[in-house]
Amino acid sequence: MVTSTSFRAAIARRPPTGERCAVPLSGGRDSRHILLELVRQGFRPTECITSRELPPRGNVDVAPAAELCARLGLNHVVVSPPRRFEAETRRTWRTSYCCDEHEWMLGMADRMAGRSNDPAASGFSTSWDGIAGDTLSAPRLQKPEHLRLLQQGKFEALADELLGRDATPLMSVLPERFRCADARAVLPVRLARHLEAVSGGPNPLAMSNIYSRSRREIAMMSTAMLAGVPTVYCPFLDHELFDYLAGLPEEIRYDPGFHDDVIARAYPEIADVPYAPKNVTVRSAAHFARFGAEVMLHLLSRNPSWLQLLPRTVWQWATHGLSRDRRARERWLSPSRLLYFAQLAALLDDCDHELAMLAREPGIDVVGGWATE
């Protein structure tokens, strides 16, 4: 298949740069595809590293990743992220306040940078990241309804559907300097213009996702979270492979078994190794209650003025958990978001302290007040 040929070329152009290399391995398709092709070309990683998840996500990656490594005769290491408060705080520093994801991979990032408590983990010179693989090979974050609105030229309706969140409740629990008068009146218009700009190209919804979410948020995994690793390759962004996958017709990309079939045909000897199930959650009320209490204590210790927002915040958090529909519309309402704004407030109020904490992160250098690789 052309896909396999292009992918093999993409990996061949990105061999390890040193003796120790590691592959972050989930139970999904992208990292598995990368690993299998590395092994096929004789580049056997020193370690394959799988991270346990933080609630509410279930730990579904460990078992399939372990089975795959056992079949390939590779060293498989399972790590855990720090407690949520530390993970989310450090994540914000590591990504220069530009991201609200990836806290789950702090343990993995520390090991790959040689910062873990395991004396056998002395850091790695090379790693590979599967960014954009799922978006290019599957309808990631897309629905048939989205495609219909795009084809009809209803860009503002599509933008409103894609945003799908009401920021008003969040505004009510933030200090005045962080509030926006009417975010929902501004964001759909900007997103609609962007969607119209990409509508004439191939796979416009996928490209919109890549140009926005992948470029701004997911890229923080390889460029910031793994900043302690000297070389991190992103083979799905290889020009030849990217152009080929971006040009696939929608009927292929909307086939849920497309990427599975490509991998199974290219590596039939492991075709029976299962993938991790999707959307598995665990009970997390107690977890977030503890985390929420820790966030509130942190806020009050750093700035007592947050005390006036405490009743409203607790009420929002409590009622937020009662309705599945409300959780879908108001995902901004979580202790994580409030902690992020507390870090922004600390940066404004005590920039030197925050930059000093940022400089402690492995692979991050603070130059002129900014974090750089």
Do both 256 and 188 map to the same domain? no
For residues 70 and 174, what is the distance between their CA atoms, to the nearest angstrom? 49
Peptide bond into 56 cis (omega under 30): yes
Assess contact for 63 and 144: CB atoms under 8 A.
no
Do both 173 and 32 map to the same domain? no
279 falls within a domain: no
Assess contact for 242 and 236: CB atoms under 8 A.
yes
Report pLDDT for 183. Answer: 61
Tokens of 245: 């996958």
Do both 32 and 52 map to the same domain? yes
Do both 71 and 87 map to the same domain? yes
Tokens of 319: 């009622």
Do both 228 and 79 map to the same domain? yes
Average pLDDT, 10 consecutive residues per value, the chain (373 residues): 82 95 97 98 97 92 98 97 94 90 94 79 91 85 83 90 72 76 73 89 86 91 93 96 87 80 95 94 84 86 73 66 50 73 87 81 60 43
For residues 23 and 188, what is the distance between their CA atoms, to the nearest angstrom? 38
CATH number at residue 18: 3.40.50.620
Residue where one domain finishes, among candidates 198, 219, 238 = 198
Report pLDDT for 152. Answer: 92
235 falls within a domain: yes
Do both 94 and 187 map to the same domain? no
278 falls within a domain: no
Do both 123 and 241 map to the same domain? yes
For residues 56 and 58, what is the distance between their CA atoms, to the nearest angstrom? 6
Quote the pTM value: 0.89
80 falls within a domain: yes
178 is in which domain, residue-wise?
A: 144-198
Report pLDDT for 13. Answer: 97
Do both 241 and 292 map to the same domain? no
For residue 363, CA distances in Å to 95, 186, 241, 301, 367 come to 12, 36, 29, 30, 13
Do both 175 and 309 map to the same domain? no
Do both 170 and 293 map to the same domain? no
pLDDT in tens, 63-90: 999 999 999 999 999 999 999 999 999 9
pLDDT in tens, 175-210: 778 877 666 667 788 889 989 998 888 888 888 889
Length of the chain: 373
Question: How many domains does the chain contain in total?
Answer: 3
Assess contact for 157 and 236: CB atoms under 8 A.
no
For residues 335 and 287, what is the distance between their CA atoms, to the nearest angstrom? 11
Report pLDDT for 373. Answer: 41
Report pLDDT for 189. Answer: 84
Do both 155 and 11 map to the same domain? no
Assess contact for 122 and 20: CB atoms under 8 A.
yes
Residue where one domain finishes, among candidates 270, 295, 321 = 270
For residues 42 and 285, what is the distance between their CA atoms, to the nearest angstrom? 46
Do both 85 and 231 map to the same domain? yes
161 falls within a domain: yes
355 falls within a domain: yes
Assess contact for 219 and 132: CB atoms under 8 A.
no
Residue 130: which residues within 8 A CB-CB, separation 6 or more? Answer: 30, 31, 33, 34, 234, 235, 236
94 falls within a domain: yes
Residue where one domain finishes, among candidates 270, 301, 319 = 270
